[in-house]
Amino acid sequence: MFSQNDLFQIQNKGITIDQIKVQLNTFQKGFPFLDVIKPAFCNDGILSLTPSQVKDLGVFYNSRKKKHSISKFIPASGAATRMFKSLYEYSDNPEITCNEADKFISNIKSFAFYSDLQAKAVERGLSLELMNTKQIIDLLLASDGLNYGNLPKGLIKFHSNKNGNRVAIEEHLVEGAMYAVTANNEVFCHFTLSPEHILPFNNLIKNTIYNYENQFSVKFHISYSIQKPATDTLAVNHHNHPFREKDGSLVFRPGGHGALLENLNEINADIIFIKNIDNVVPDRLKPETVDYKNALAGLLLQLQQQVNQYLNTNIQENEIEEIKAFIEANLGYKFPDTFNNLSFENKKNQIFKILNRPLRVCGMVKNSGEPGGGPYWVKGKDSSLSLQILETSQFNLDDETQRNIFKKATHFNPVDLIIYTKDYKGNKFNLTQFTDPETGFISIKSKDGKELKALELPGLWNGSMANWNTIFVEVPLITFNPVKTVNDLLREEHQA
């Protein structure tokens, strides 16, 4: 099936032929659906905090955070192309009626990048007031204009600010200075980037970092990584044979955000805040976000402290039920009935295995029509139950029972996670050992007008964290303000 050139191409990506065989076999058999028991609800898998608990947990975190290494991890490798999808469609066919394009033009002065767009027009001897809709859109998106169609979303100006307008990356730096400061007044932020975005990213950091260091009296340590080529997956046609370019070479595709587990695994910090690049707000709305970040981090540290206490103790037989109750009440895991029939030593070993895992606290917001994975209870092969963040593709929606379970979810995951990645001895976990490889999915894409099948790895906060200890906490909807389209920036939450 594979020529010498194919083998050379595979090797150059750092992929083994055995991995390719596994991928091809997965296309043939597909991924199994999960045995989803029920959605997680408030008081049944989702914790609701009172205002006093939010305050107390925040105080707990701030009193202890300087004993820990802290980092922010921001997936930021996607281009902003999808953000401008409707504008591209109008530019390609300006005769059509496009409400989104009309809305964009009608409110153009409300965007934080308006002054840049105006300056670019003047630079070319033009005036925005005299330009038509297509000309303005092209000036915004084209490489000889603001080039927004080719930039990553993190470099798009999101918000107007009294001290100057900010791109999304800058908003993450400001957030980091508010809740992720270490003992030495340092803030560590790690961004995942595409290779073509490294230069503009570095230019932005070089031009802005000192201002923020002076403003917040901190020292920033900014790092980045690219998605590893070895996490790309082979594309196939509808016969499940390798999909090829016109020149006969194999087609590989990025393995989805689950591929970023390798990048996350290289971050050496106790506490890591994970948040998508586009979920940021202006300064006037940051306090509530910061309050809940502090509270969730405080909860994380409280639970980790108790976990470490158990793991550092020689567990006695009369303590088994106490620790089992702690796990089931706090760590998103329910033991199978067969646990009660085990010997003391086997119970002790099983408890140790469950406790000694990475820990994550995940914010959950009430359903509001936004896309995102949902919180559910899932039955494992051993009949244990665990809390998981699931995507639509992981349900058998042809089954009425599963379809009803899927529809009943009251919350979804806004990618608001705080994780603890060290064991009870302070050693870093190898996060790749806690994934469920059977939780990826197959999607249908197209290339050069032909349909292909693409293999996506278990999602970063889905199957890649399937075997973590998990806590879901309800957070206010105001803490979730994604920017999926350019006109989302016109929402009140993103205006000055």
The per-residue pLDDT for range 311-338, each reduced to its tens digit, is: 999 999 999 999 999 999 999 999 999 9
- Assess whether pLDDT exceeds 60 at residue 371: no
Band of pLDDT at residue 496, cut at 50, 70 and 90: confident
pLDDT value for 369: 64
Give domain limits for the chain: 4-68+226-262+276-483, 87-151
Alpha helices in 331-472 (DSSP H): 344-355, 400-407
Looking at per-residue pLDDT, the higher value among 373 and 247 belongs to: 247
Angstrom distance (rounded) from CA 412 to CA 395: 15
Kindly tell me the burial class for residue 113, based on how many C-beta atoms sit within 10 Å of its own C-beta (0-12, 13-18, 19 or more): buried
Single out the residue of 429, 378, 422, 366 nearest to residue 402, CA to CA: 378
pLDDT value for 372: 63
pLDDT value for 370: 60
Looking at per-residue pLDDT, the higher value among 30 and 272 belongs to: 272
Work out the mean pLDDT of the chain and round it to a whole number.
94
Question: Mean per-residue pLDDT for 246-254?
Answer: 92
- Assess whether pLDDT exceeds 80 at residue 163: no
Q: What tens digit of pLDDT does each residue of 289-301 get?
A: 999 999 999 999 9
Crossing angle for the helix pair 198-216 and 168-179, to the nearest 10 degrees: 40
Band of pLDDT at residue 186, cut at 50, 70 and 90: very high
Backbone angles phi, psi at 274, to 5 degrees: -120, 125
Going by DSSP bridges, is the β-strand pair 45-47/252-253 parallel, antiparallel, or unpaired?
Answer: unpaired
pLDDT value for 446: 83
pLDDT value for 164: 83
Q: Which two tokens stand for residue 39?
A: 């959605």
DSSP classification of residue 185? S
Angstrom distance (rounded) from CA 351 to CA 326: 11
DSSP classification of residue 84? G
Q: What tens digit of pLDDT does each residue of 59-108 get?
A: 999 999 999 999 999 999 877 888 999 999 999 999 888 999 999 999 99
pLDDT value for 393: 83
Which of 79-88, 241-250, 298-307, 367-376 has the least mean pLDDT? 367-376
- Assess whether pLDDT exceeds 60 at residue 159: yes
Tally the C-alpha atoms within 13 A of residue 103's C-alpha that lie toward its C-beta: 13
Q: What is the pTM of this model?
A: 0.94
Single out the residue of 180, 188, 71, 59 nearest to residue 422, CA to CA: 71
- Assess whether pLDDT exceeds 90 at residue 452: yes
- 81, amino acid identity: T
Question: Mean per-residue pLDDT for 284-293?
Answer: 96
Most confident region among 160-174, 362-376, 419-433 by mean pLDDT: 419-433
pLDDT value for 82: 86
Q: What tens digit of pLDDT does each residue of 410-428 get?
A: 999 888 999 999 999 999 9
Question: Mean per-residue pLDDT for 11-29?
Answer: 94
- Assess whether pLDDT exceeds 90 at residue 450: no
Band of pLDDT at residue 161, cut at 50, 70 and 90: confident
- Assess whether pLDDT exceeds 70 at residue 339: yes
pLDDT value for 363: 96
CA distances from 284 to 179, 287, 349 (A): 16, 7, 50
Question: Mean per-residue pLDDT for 23-31?
Answer: 93
Three-class SS of residue 233? strand
